[in-house]
Amino acid sequence: MSDLLGRLRGRGWRMTSQRRVVAEVLDGDHVHLTADEVHLRAAARLPEISRATVYNTLGELVALGEVLEVSTVGRAKRYDPNARNPHQHLVCSGCGTVRDVHPVGNAIGDLPEEERFGFAVGSVEITYRGLCPGCA
């Protein structure tokens, strides 16, 4: 993420304090925050930032491919800045913690031709579920 601001400027983004602080909040490993969590942390640095701006900025980052949306079951979407490193997710069924993982197989290849219904399969998402050490 360290070069994110530079890439965004290169794409013609007007660099505002709001966008800067959202980008700063989305930094680190295993970061999978909800929009509200991003807003909370951004507001700690920039109290006047609005929810709408956080949603707008997250949506733009997703459209640019800089951030991934992680779908959850019945909960708020989570935003994942680790978009440059393809990975999958391990989710704790107890506390909801999300970790990035890298399985070794080729899941797309595991789908037989006769199971593809003529689709052009382009990507695969894998979610592992279980209990983390703290919740076990």
Residues that bind DNA (CB under 7 A): 9, 13-19, 34-36, 46, 48-53, 55-57, 59, 74-77
Q: Answer with the entry of Zn ion, DNA, a second copy, none that 95 interacts with (C-beta below 5 to 8 A by kind).
A: Zn ion
- 110 among the known binding-site residues? no
- For residues 56 and 41, give the distance between their C-alpha atoms in angstroms, rounded to a whole number: 16
- For residues 45 and 25, give the distance between their C-alpha atoms in angstroms, rounded to a whole number: 10
- For residues 20 and 124, give the distance between their C-alpha atoms in angstroms, rounded to a whole number: 31
Tokens standing for 69?
């949306």
- For residues 70 and 88, give the distance between their C-alpha atoms in angstroms, rounded to a whole number: 10
Site for Zn ion in 85-114 (CB under 5 A): 92, 94-95
Confirm or reject binding of residue 130 to Zn ion (CB under 5 A).
no
- Binding residues (CB under 8 A) for a second copy: these are 69, 71-74, 77, 90, 92-93, 99, 101-112, 115-133, 136
